[in-house]
Structure 1
Amino acid sequence: MNKVKLAAVSVITGLSLSAVSVSSMAMDRQVEKALVKVCKSALSDKPIRLKHSMEDYNLKARDVALKVMCNGDDIITFAEANGANKTAARLQNSIGKVDIIDVAAVNKINVNF
């Protein structure tokens, strides 16, 4: 009886894992295609081409700048290393500016209750 249960569980697990891998493979091709297109457009040094490729796949410039890796480098470094300074600057501007304030150095801190 235990062998039958073990066999049934093994078959069900195998089928469910194969179904998951097929669906993830289909998604991976689409994602890879989108990322390759974005990396190639970043290399072109034409910001309008980069904008169109991001729009084609509903990608936000901030997400691309912070999360996309091209050939082991982040996309901004990749573009700069290959002479695509316009697209690198466009992606850098999409990140925004961060200000760091040293709270310990501030003279007054107002707290209202």
Structure 2
Amino acid sequence: MINVNITVIALTALSALAFSAPSQATMSPYVKTALVDVCKAAMSNKIHRLNGTTNAYRLRDKTVALKVMCNGDDIISFAEHHGAYKTAAKLQRSIGNVSIIDTAAISKVNVTFAE
């Protein structure tokens, strides 16, 4: 009887995970558009464009600098790779002082788009 109850509980839990996993894995179109716009603004090397984009989507520069990835790179490296040193420096300044960060605890969002 105990084995049957454990099996039923396990199957119920797995079926609940199976239905909830796809909804968490997909990104809403609004969020994807916002992140692509932020990546493009960082790539532009125009600080006013980056400020306007982050303000339009109500994002903090520090959050963007720490958690957004563009085409597999963190946003600061992505901007530097495209020669956007002004926007990369602004994002780097938003992080503030150097501190020890548990990188396993940080979850970054990766956005891939055609340039």
In the superposition, the TM-score normalised over structure 1's length comes to 0.64
Aligned residue number for residue 88 of structure 1:
88
Q: Which has the larger share of helix? A: 1
- Between the aligned residues of both structures, percent identity stands at 55
1:22-61 equivalent positions in 2, closer than 5 A: 28-30=27-29, 31-61=31-61
Q: Which residue of 1 aligns with 2:74?
A: 74
RMSD between aligned alpha carbons?
A: 2.8
> Following TM superposition, by how much is the alpha carbon of 1:73 offset from its aligned partner in structure 2, in angstroms?
0.2
Cα distance in 1, alignment partners of residues 37 and 28 from structure 2: 12
Please report how far the alpha carbon of residue 29 of structure 1 lies from its aligned counterpart in structure 2 after TM superposition: 3.2
Report deviation, 1:34: 0.3
Q: Which has the higher contact order (CA 8 A, sep 6+)?
A: 2
CA distance in 2, matches of 1:67, 1:89: 16
- Give TM-score scaled by structure 2 length: 0.63
Structure 2 unaligned segments of length 5 or more: list them: 1-15, 101-115
Structure 1 runs not aligned, ≥5 long: 1-15, 101-113
